[in-house]
Structure 1
Amino acid sequence: MSGWADAKAPSLAEIEALADAAFAALPDEFRRLCAGLRIHVDDFPDDETLTEMGCETEFDLLGLFRGVGLAQSGEVATGQMPNAVWLYRRPLLDYWAEHDETLGHLVTHVLVHEIGHHMGLSDDDMAAIEAAAEAIETPEA
């Protein structure tokens, strides 16, 4: 119990490090499809995003993909912002506190889903990718 007495909530940089590690653990073919993807971590989505996504509170959105996914793809237009995923630290921490899963698993799950839906992947495809990433993180003894 003493380890928790001095524990603090993970910072933006620590959540970003979890996201970077989660991305690195994804299968090579999935990461290749994400060339140029940027991962950002903010405490909360901005007001414009909350309105656009129809969120009732700032805790409703764990992550978001912005850009042109492969399903819509084609050539990148001049002046187009690079594809990016935003992960929202405070909503992630709130969700984590109320569910029985590790923070690393949650960050991986949100990251895969934000990238995957915009690549035209099904939920089953994304579950298989997550399972492959988890097998790399925790190889059987």
Structure 2
Amino acid sequence: MTDGRIGGEPPGAADLEALALAAMARLPDAFKPHVEGVVVQIADFADEDVLAELGIDNPWELTGLYHGRPLDEQSIWDSGAMPPIVTLFRLPLLAEWIESGGRLDALIFHVVVHEIGHHFGLSDDDMHALEDSVPD
């Protein structure tokens, strides 16, 4: 899975992780030092506890999740805390990719920017502006 076209074997967790890391590498230089410690995880679906906490009934509706404290809420006194984590949910992402007919790397970039936006405490408008500022 390298060209983002639909067909053949579905992309696995390693493929999605590689696309997510490539998406993070495309962020503007000012953001890069602040995402170095962010961990990317891939799961097929969000678990029932996460869905319940978010008030989501259908696991196909959640493609990504940020878990951690936004940078503007972190302190030098935070020690022993888990690193921030961006989790991408593979099966909902693949379903959305197939439904949209678009490029998988573009979809992953969109979701990663949204989740990384939570890391920076950005608004939805700021996240869209960040996404639009990055060339294809």
Q: TM-score range by the shorter chain?
A: 0.7 to 0.9
Written as runs of structure 1 = structure 2, the 5 A alignment for 1:1-141 is 7-75=8-76, 77-133=78-134, 135=135, 137=136
Q: Is the 8 A contact 1:63 1:87 kept in 2?
A: yes
Q: CA RMSD in A?
A: 2.0
Segments of 4+ moved more than 4 angstroms? none
Query: Whole-Å Cα distance in 1 between the matches of residues 26 and 36 of structure 2?
Result: 15
State the identity %: 42
Cα separation, partners in 2 of 1:59 and 1:6, compared to 1, 3 Å: closer
- TM-score calculated relative to the size of structure 1: 0.84
Counterpart of 1:109, as a letter, is H
Q: Which runs of 5+ in 1 are unaligned?
A: none
Q: Which runs of 5+ in 2 are unaligned?
A: none
Counterpart of 2:52, as a letter, is T
Number of equivalent positions: 132
- TM-score calculated relative to the size of structure 2: 0.86
DSSP 3-state at the match of 2:76: coil
Q: Is the 8 A contact 1:26 1:132 kept in 2?
A: no
CA shift at 1:51, angstroms? 1.2
